[in-house]
Amino acid sequence: MTPRELLDTAWDLAAMPEERHWRAAAHQAYYSVYHLACQTLGLDPANDYAMARHQAVLERVEKSYVGSARLYRMKQSMRRLRELRVRADYALGAPVTLREVRDAVRRAEDILAAPS
């Protein structure tokens, strides 16, 4: 799997008619950016999860020198994507709207499409 494939799955899920699909789309959109961030930062979550913990990656992205449009967009949107993913995955009583999910998928698309 690649970040692009994760995001393509998010697009597919966001087009589905029910909230359960939208929650999965929010999850996939965030993970597409998380894995791209790991690649950008030279981290391998499969072999060194301690260095690639979500909070650690987010903090490294937010503290990084902005040397590319992609990193700039990550800095702007990654925390928001993560917050929606956490709500979608864990706060089952809290609504996740199609509007939020479409916004998240578009943000992830902007990040993946940006020059590195």
**pLDDT tens for each residue of 55-81:** 999 999 999 888 889 999 999 999 999
pLDDT at 109: 98
pLDDT at 10: 98
C-alpha–C-alpha distance, residues 11 and 94, integer Å: 22
Q: What's the Cα-to-Cα distance from 53 to each of 13, 17, 47, rounded to whole Å?
A: 26, 32, 12
Could you state, in order of their start, the residue ranges of all structural domains in the chain?
3-113
Is the pTM for the entire model greater than 0.85? yes
3-state secondary structure of 67: coil
Provide, rounded to the nearest whole percent, the portion of the chain with pLDDT above 90: 91
Lowest mean pLDDT segment, chosen from 13-27, 30-44, 59-73, 96-110: 59-73
* pLDDT, tens digit, 9 for 90 and up, residues 80-95: 999 999 999 999 999 9
Domain 3-113 has CATH 3.30.450: no
Query: How would residue 1 be classed by pLDDT, with cut points 50, 70 and 90?
Result: very high
Which residue, chain included where needed, has tokens 């490294």? Answer: 60
